[in-house]
Amino acid sequence: MSTEAPAAAIRDQVHATARLAREASISLATATRLAKDAALLAAADALVADTDRIVAANELDVEAARDGGTGEHVLDRLRLDPARVAAFAQGVRDVAALPDPIGEVVRGSVLPNGLRLTQVRVPMGVIGMIYEGRPNVTADAAAICLKAGSAVVLRGSASAARSNEVIVEVMRAAIEKAGLPADLISLLPSADRASATELMRARGLVDLVIPRGGAGLIRTVVEESTVPVIETGTGNCHVYVDAEADLEMALAIVVNAKTHRTSVCNAAESLLVHRDVAEAFLPRVVAALREHDVVIHGDAAFQAVDPAVTEATDEDYATEYLDLEISAKVVDSVDDAITHVRRFSSGHTEAIVTASARTARRFTLGVDSAAVMVNASTRFTDGGEFGFGAEIGISTQKLHARGPMGLTEMTTTTYVVEGDGHVR
Amino acid sequence: MSTEAPAAAIRDQVHATARLAREASISLATATRLAKDAALLAAADALVADTDRIVAANELDVEAARDGGTGEHVLDRLRLDPARVAAFAQGVRDVAALPDPIGEVVRGSVLPNGLRLTQVRVPMGVIGMIYEGRPNVTADAAAICLKAGSAVVLRGSASAARSNEVIVEVMRAAIEKAGLPADLISLLPSADRASATELMRARGLVDLVIPRGGAGLIRTVVEESTVPVIETGTGNCHVYVDAEADLEMALAIVVNAKTHRTSVCNAAESLLVHRDVAEAFLPRVVAALREHDVVIHGDAAFQAVDPAVTEATDEDYATEYLDLEISAKVVDSVDDAITHVRRFSSGHTEAIVTASARTARRFTLGVDSAAVMVNASTRFTDGGEFGFGAEIGISTQKLHARGPMGLTEMTTTTYVVEGDGHVR
């Protein structure tokens, strides 16, 4: 009984928060772009003005994490300084500058019976965000959801609790002063796992849940949620170097995709090389990767090039290292490459390097991922690079949104049908 | 242990079927429209040619259902005769005649760095359909999924098992003869509930599950599925008669929406009338509905008009009757109507009857449903009426698809990014 009481209390709190968010979202559905942008700019100004409070709260988070034994790498992701606060405040301003997706006519026509049919973009309603790590996601997600006409219920990580509380408090006060309901942005307690569980089971109160974080978090949300979910972020991305590749280009792309930034979901994790160019390419690519301190797990052909290459297992081929590590394999054909990718990929991004239009076409149609790069680095799968202006995550599922998600992907549509007494 | 063995056997069977479907779907992703249409036309011809076998199998289903105590109304939905077989065979031909959604460019641009970005419509992969009742859904769903480039795994109701088996057998043989893999269309056993459960939990093997049937089925799938789901069909649809309504028009729309066909999801289930026109309208609408044998559950104002009107409870307002029954209430304003609709609607279709552009706009923006009719019957929310040519169901959720779903809604997209050695 003693464990039941707090669980019920957390459920009540989550439901109460979601109800307030839903109430607030109703007024936002008819808010003008001017009203939304004014609130976002006010929130950005307030974040900058309250930098000291945000940084002070963050210092407590960082200290607690350090005392808890968190490593310096993770501490750095958690840490805020005035420059980082200014950066995410600017991110909020950037969202304000984007076109309003609400009201966009997606399609329209006059039906044979004279009914006028219009499919219009409308807000989602209430969006739940369950995320780990960096507190900048708090401001980003709140700004994107607000601009897209939805209320957001945030559930960040316990390690960033104090930072998130202050960021949300500052943004709530600012948008309220600007004339929008504060409850458009709310934060759930993060000390207890139950708040996340209740959020993803608040079907009817919450329209969409987006998990953003490690594979474990995402798996949990997908398994347990009854609210519709958009899965994000896991990126076991491949680069396939074809028989007809420009090997100079291939080398640059492989090195960039693997080493430019290792901790991101669009970094390459696996290298496939066509047998016809293995002899020429393997020594060069192995040397270049080793020069960047990349640990290589390869098949026999790769191991033959350099004794430092360890044997790749199926587990390696399935792993998203997010580090200076890569799996590597020689394949007999583009179809072999496609089969390998279909088996091991997480469906994020694959790249092919080839001069052959036919092979590029075959690979593009053959793999089944959110993005396919032809003669370009996997690192380009990104809302900013794609010109979306803002990104709330990268969807690796097929339903609703696939690839980088911007404002449009945070909306739904409705059909408006205008008649003059039409009956069937 | 004895209950575990069959459960595991069913799981293995579902997974094996889904794997074959996935394998088959890979070849379909690159099949031309010509190849797909030829297979569909062959399937339609085969269904007609095998009408006798289909009807004979169906007779066994109908007999078994009758022996089990199924009522005549439901038996009629289950029953197939040569005309009904011809009708769904024609439906398959109609799908063949529709444009191919695969390969459509959704958006495209050249990025500032010269990368060419194209978002292209591609197949979903493997679609699971869990449905009740009428065996014509089997042919419809198979045709739509095939045309949209996906394999389908069907799980129909036990009552239609023999009919479905023959329909699927005939279609499989026909598409295989036309050069496509038979495993694009498969049917799971329906005797055991476990086959449905395993299908909705086959995440990674199945890309999307669509439940089509009663509220109980849909709730179960939403609760238990780990595969992404599109919720369909529940329609607690409202007609709101505004103070500025043309009452003649309002009467025609209410009667049509309620009585034209009662067992469908776009039939009206609830009537809201503005107080200013209650005195003039209530006696007329009550008389007209009673003339069509509609049972009315109303508030005090409706009860005052006719003693046969019973008192409406909140449960009535929440009920999708699917019969000659309606709930009814007088409201003080359009905002009152919106609040009532937001509270009780299932998010399918709402209609407003008004001569006021301002009120129509307010209602349209205020309710939160897949479709809003202005001066037209709720009965128009339908893929056929909307000109989609084919419909696999009507989505009442906000994610991915909302409202009638045609071929486009059965696809996903991928980003193809073409460069010339681009790195970041």
- Confidence label for B74 from pLDDT (cuts 50, 70 and 90): confident
Over residues A387-394, the mean pLDDT reads 90
- Confidence label for A29 from pLDDT (cuts 50, 70 and 90): confident
Task: Give the whole-angstrom CA distance, residue A294 versus residue A309.
Answer: 10
- The H-or-E segment that residue A257 falls in is helix A247-259
When CB atoms are compared, the residue of B26, B115, B125 closest to A376 is: B115
The alpha carbon of residue B192 and the mean position of all alpha carbons in its chain are separated, in whole angstroms, by 24
* pLDDT tops 70 at residue A295: yes
* pLDDT tops 70 at residue A362: yes
Q: What is the fold, at CATH topology level, of the domain defined by A237-384?
A: Aldehyde Dehydrogenase; Chain A, domain 2 (3.40.309)
Sign of CA dihedral B342, B343, B347, B349: negative
- Confidence label for B113 from pLDDT (cuts 50, 70 and 90): very high
Provide the residue count of chain A: 424
Q: Where in chain A is the domain with CATH 3.40.309.10?
A: 237-384
With contact defined as beta carbons under 8 Å apart, do B155 and B198 qualify? Answer: no
Coil, strand, or helix at residue A356?
coil
Lookup: tokens for A170: 């500052």
- Confidence label for A367 from pLDDT (cuts 50, 70 and 90): very high
Which ranges constitute the DSSP H helices of A124-214?
136-147, 161-177, 194-200
* pLDDT tops 60 at residue B106: yes
What is the torsion angle, in degrees rounded to the nearest 10, for the CA atoms of residue A185, residue A191, residue A194 and residue A196? 40
- Confidence label for B134 from pLDDT (cuts 50, 70 and 90): confident
CB-side neighbour CA atoms (13 Å) of B15: 10
**Which one, of B245, B270, B235, lies nearest residue B352 by Cα?**
B245
With contact defined as beta carbons under 8 Å apart, do A165 and A187 qualify? Answer: yes
What ipTM goes with this model?
0.93
Contact A203 B222 (CB under 8 A): yes
**A residues 109..168 contacting B (CB < 8 A):** 109, 111-112, 115, 117, 119, 122, 124-125
Mean pLDDT of chain A: 95
Lookup: tokens for B356: 């006021």
* pLDDT tops 50 at residue A8: yes
- Residue A195 contacts by C-beta under 8 Å, 6 or more apart in sequence? A10, A13, A14, A155, A188, A189
A116-123 and A105-110 beta bridge pairing? antiparallel
With contact defined as beta carbons under 8 Å apart, do A139 and A167 qualify? Answer: yes
- Confidence label for B234 from pLDDT (cuts 50, 70 and 90): confident
How would you label B312-346 residue by residue, b for 16+ Cβ within 10 Å and e otherwise?
Answer: beeebbebbbbeebbbbbbbeebebbbebbbebbb
- Confidence label for A1 from pLDDT (cuts 50, 70 and 90): very low
Task: Give the whole-angstrom CA distance, residue A221 versus residue A232.
Answer: 11
B230 shares contact with chain A (CB less than 8 Å) = yes
Q: For the structural domain made of B4-231+401-418, what CATH number should be given? A: 3.40.605.10
Other beta carbons within 10 angstroms of residue A240's beta carbon come to: 27
Contact A423 B368 (CB under 8 A): no
Over residues B127-138, the mean pLDDT reads 91
**A residues 328..347 contacting B (CB < 8 A):** 342
Task: Give the whole-angstrom CA distance, residue B368 versus residue B375.
Answer: 18
A25-29, A367-371, B319-323, B377-381: which range is least confident on average? A25-29
Which ranges constitute the DSSP H helices of B148-273?
161-177, 194-200, 215-224, 247-259
A235 shares contact with chain B (CB less than 8 Å) = no
* pLDDT tops 60 at residue A77: yes
What angle in degrees, to the nearest 10, is found between the helix axes of B136-147 and B33-49? 160
In chain B, which residues have their Cβ closer than 8 Å to the Cβ of A422? 375-377, 380
Contact B399 A414 (CB under 8 A): no
With contact defined as beta carbons under 8 Å apart, do A58 and A80 qualify? Answer: yes
The larger pLDDT score, comparing residue A323 to residue A390, is at A323
Nearest CA in chain A to B108: A386
Amino acid of residue A365: L
Strand partners, A412: A122
* pLDDT tops 70 at residue B1: no
Contact B399 A125 (CB under 8 A): no
Over residues B180-185, the mean pLDDT reads 98
| Residues A135-178: tens digit of each pLDDT | 999 999 999 999 999 999 999 999 999 999 999 999 999 999 99
Query: Distances in Å between the alpha carbon of A212 and those of A222, A230, A252?
Result: 12, 9, 30
Question: Which of the 8 DSSP states describes residue B385?
Answer: T
pLDDT of residue A403: 97
Nearest Cα of chain B lies from the Cα of A175 at a distance, in angstroms, of 22
A209 shares contact with chain B (CB less than 8 Å) = no
Q: Where in chain B is the domain with CATH 3.40.605.10?
A: 4-231+401-418
* pLDDT tops 90 at residue A215: no
Contact B208 A399 (CB under 8 A): yes
Phi, psi of A371 (to 5 degrees): -145, 145
